[in-house]
Amino acid sequence: MHTCASPACRKSIQPGQRRRPGPDGQTICNPCYIRWHKAGRPADVPPPPEMSTGHARGLQRHAEAAARAEQARTLALVYSPEEIAAEMGLTVTTVNGYLRSRPEMAC
């Protein structure tokens, strides 16, 4: 079994996965090869991105939804779900979903 020679990666390359020659002829995995190739084959393989932009967007949406749910729960102390929906520009179904959900750090 081979290991990707890129210091930031070091993933093991399973049999059947593509191995590619990287800088100095080292064996690197296919994603690293593609990154290296796109970067113009520098002396070092560029490190992989922290996370994909799709994953980052998903986390961002999740955080926004959690913030809206928190706001809805606060408003629910005073207002009905219908009033909260009108106030926040959401559907009543969405508001009720927020009110049923528990805060993430509930004790």
Residue numbers at the binding site for Zn ion (CB under 5 A): 4, 6, 9, 29, 32
* Among 24, 93, 42, 50, CA closest to 101: 93
Query: Smaller CB distance to Zn ion: residue 13 or 84?
Result: 13
Query: Smaller CB distance to Zn ion: residue 32 or 75?
Result: 32
- Work out how close the CB of 11 gets to Zn ion at its nearest, in angstroms, rounded to a whole number: 5
- Work out how close the CB of 12 gets to Zn ion at its nearest, in angstroms, rounded to a whole number: 10
- Work out how close the CB of 48 gets to Zn ion at its nearest, in angstroms, rounded to a whole number: 7
Up-side HSE of residue 26: CA atoms within 13 Å toward CB?
Answer: 18
Query: Smaller CB distance to Zn ion: residue 32 or 85?
Result: 32
